[in-house]
Structures are given as C-alpha cells and as structure tokens.
Amino acid sequence: MILNDVHTGIQKRKPRKRIGRGPGSGHGKTSGRGHKGYYSRSGSRRRHGFEGGQMPFFRRVAKRGFNNAAFADRVVIVNVGQLDRAFDDGTEITVELLVSKGMVPSRHDALKVLGDGELTKKFTVKANHFSRSAEEKIVAAGGRFDRV
C-alpha cells in the first residue's frame, strides 16, 4: 500500500446523476428506466413501503400489544437552578408565570420541579410534583412549595 494512493477515487460528494441528457452522458435515451414495462412509463411508482419483494417491514413487525405514548401525561420539568436564575427573590412561581416566561410549553399535563442546581433565593413554588431534593432546597432557602 502506498500512503498517497489510499484516498484516490474517494469523493466527498458524488456528482448528481443527470438523466436524459443524451447518449454521451451514459444516462440518455431510456434514462435508466430500461425498455417497456410498467416502470418505464410516466406515472408509474412502487407502492409505499415496497422492499423489492422482501417481506415488508410493516408485515414483519408484530401488530399486537398496546403503546401508551399517545395517552400518557406530558410532564414538563424545571430545575431549581433555572428558577434561581430566572426570578427575583420573593416571587410566587406558578405554571402560568413559567409559560409566560417561555420556560415551559403551554401544552402539558403536569409540571415537576427537580432539584438540580443551587437555590439562593426565597420562592413560593406552585407545581404538580416536586422531587425530594427540590423540596429540601426550597425549604432550606426559606421558601415554600405548594402542590396544585
């Protein structure tokens, strides 16, 4: 192996295949569609999910069972460190305030406050759920938490 020949012939971006531009291009005349048959005609296409005769994926996978993803509650999380950075001392933090600040999306089912980060300010936090560490940090900073 010669080191300066290792990468010869390797291209970062292959040039696009220009179809129907004459016989000199190598893709002229039938433009890669072959002669006759359904797929040579305009308006022809393979069915969605067709895998060349191989058993298609949607027929290979099981159809039984239930997935709760469509019905599960969408719980958004906020850390106490984020609250410390975003709000002033003595603020009453509610879901509506967090939505108006853009910290949580308006479409959700529950808000959970987690204990990641440091809390140096006194807050009254109203949310659906609190982690134990978040409760401890809020109380240690002199604030309180209320479940809604």
Degrees, nearest 5: CA angle 11-14-15: 130
Residue pLDDT, tens place only, 20-70: 999 999 999 999 999 999 999 999 998 999 999 999 999 998 888 888 888
Q: For the chain, what is the mean pLDDT? A: 93
Determine if residue 116 is left, alpha or beta; phi over 0 gives left, psi from -120 to 50 gives alpha, anything else beta: beta
pTM, 2 dp: 0.57
Q: Hey, where are the domains in the chain?
A: 72-147
Its CATH class, for the domain covering 72-147, is: alpha beta
Neighbours of 138 (CB within 10 A): 24
Residue pLDDT, tens place only, 18-34: 999 999 999 999 999 99
